[in-house]
Chains A and B, each alone.
Chain A
């Protein structure tokens, strides 16, 4: 692999296998994501998509293979290391901190960027104060970016579902990640909400230059916004390529519709 292509690739999943006891969740999967791309992981329920995301950000350790992120092997590290390395994610079921306000949730997303220790903050030393201002400023920028400033002080548990999904996205991009993993960002949304969310994902990708790997069941959305689609079925990769080609792949059609 030449130096050029190594730096153009942000993420390489290499022969990853993961099983729970006797159940094989993911079998020998390889794919790569160039910098600045939106890559979609699709496949029927139980195909191993979420498990694969969990391997990428270190929640699960694969039994075989490895994940190379930004030139470093991350499949042996913990979630916190992945977060510090610039991988952020959202969850299939909204995983917000329900008792905290929208602003506080977004600020927790910035915890990987906090330099001042807690004693400095409690004593209100100049460095901690300046840093708190900076984090608040960035958080406000993100709230504005996702149009949720009006809900700044609302406890997230009281927000409607669509907005909660947006707050979760805000918390994820608050850490200024290089790689954003989205697990079904549009699940349970109506058409307008899906359109809004698609626009936000495209904006994040274009304006912030964040590479996105997303899991989504709405194939219309997937074909519209992604540069590259990876299709899984029963833990194996059955197709990998640009949306137009994947759509016509007989194996993909068979996995979704069934074939004889």
Chain B
């Protein structure tokens, strides 16, 4: 009943193709967007913007990047952080070397450079898959980090290799305040999520899923398998690259290679495993899980166990509990939070009856 389809018939194919076909879905989406764009900036504190909302949004975007590659096109990768780094350093250098380049343009250019790097490191996918592909994308991870540390040009010969991001201004508006950085991040992330929703529903998205599910049959029915794989690497790395630029410019305020190490790649991978492979919404859910749960645990631990156990033990206990929760959750729901959402949705369709 909540999601009743009664009376909502598609009268043309274009209506049937929409991502949000039901009126309730569109209203719900509008409410969420209004909340994120209007209510949150007026209400949230600087701590919420800087420590929770901005990293949550950026990690969702990075998760989306990897999900396009792994969840949709079936190509495993542990190089997400490398492509984030390429995007961040490229955007920084465009800003540095081209006078007066608008921030959004350098963001896009950074993404394009990352896409190029993605195609190069995606070339092995034409011959190998699965675990072997993971190992070869790991090469990207180490090579990029090494290159960015080794060659000073990338960080403008700054002795520490850490560079301060330039101030954020768009159309003369200064967006350096936490709320401003949040709004900028939200704008870019929202736009790119809508774009991804359209990509996976296009022929390219279908080709990716066909390659994922059975590449030999895909080749026989005429799908250009090699091209599809490389495009998956390109689009995925574009998304990771933009996420990396945002990470450097709107979250940290600095650009440094060590912010994009293997741990970051694993973090992005966990986001899509917990959120759900082959899902757009799952990236938000997975990122929320990864960003919010540790904070929640540390707040709980801090208030409940303070004085009982010493601080060092509490931190370790939190990590153990976090790991345990991930394991328990994946046993209950191996397809991730997105599949939980789908079953809730199926229930809402017939509620108050049972599906």
Binding site for B on A (CB under 8 A): 57, 59, 78-80, 83-84, 88-89, 91, 95-100, 104, 107-109, 111-112, 114, 118, 121-122, 124, 129, 132-133, 136-137, 171-172, 175
Contact = CB atoms under 8 A, between A and B. Distances in A.
Contacts of A104: 206, 209
A111 B222 contact: yes
A79 B222 CA distance: 7
A152 B219 CA distance: 23
B220 A79 contact: yes
Contacts of B219: 59, 78-80
Nearest to A95: B217
B47 interface: no
Interface in B43-61: none
Nearest to B194: A122
B13 A99 contact: no
Contact of B220 (A57, A107, A118, A137): A57
Contact of B222 (A95, A124, A175): A175
Contacts of B217: 91, 95-97
B204 A121 contact: yes
A171 B213 CA distance: 15
Interface stretch (B106-114, B159-167, B195-203, B345-353): B195-203
Interface string B198-229: 11001110110110111011111111110000
A118 B209 CA distance: 15
Contact of B213 (A98, A112, A136, A172): A98
Given A118-B199, A118-B202, A122-B198, A99 B212 contact: yes
Point out which of B204, B217, B220, B231 has the most chain A C-beta atoms below 10 A from its C-beta.
B220
Given A100-B206, A132-B13, A111 B221 contact: yes
Contacts of A91: 217, 220
Interface string B1-40: 0000000000011101100000000000000000000000
25 contacts: A78-B219, A79-B219, A80-B219, A80-B224, A80-B225, A83-B220, A89-B220, A95-B220, A96-B217, A97-B214, A99-B209, A99-B213, A99-B278, A100-B210, A104-B206, A108-B206, A111-B203, A111-B222, A112-B221, A114-B203, A121-B198, A122-B204, A124-B198, A133-B14, A137-B13
Point out which of B17, B203, B225 has the most chain A C-beta atoms below 10 A from its C-beta.
B203
What size tier do the contact residues of chain B reach? Answer: 20 to 34
A80 B202 contact: no
A133 B217 CA distance: 25
Nearest to B217: A95
4 closest Cβ pairs, A-B complex: A83-B222, A95-B217, A97-B213, A118-B204
Contacts of A137: 13
A113 to B, nearest CB: 9
A108 B221 contact: yes
Contact of A171 (B202, B204, B221): B221
Nearest to B225: A80
B231 A172 contact: no
Nearest to B277: A99
B223 A80 contact: yes
B223 A122 contact: no
Contact of A122 (B195, B220, B224): B195
Contacts of B14: 129, 132-133
Point out which of B12, B16, B210, B225 has the most chain A C-beta atoms below 10 A from its C-beta.
B210
A175 B218 CA distance: 13
Contact of A111 (B213, B216, B223): B223
Interface in B227-274: 231
Contacts of A171: 221
A129 B218 CA distance: 24
A99 B217 CA distance: 14
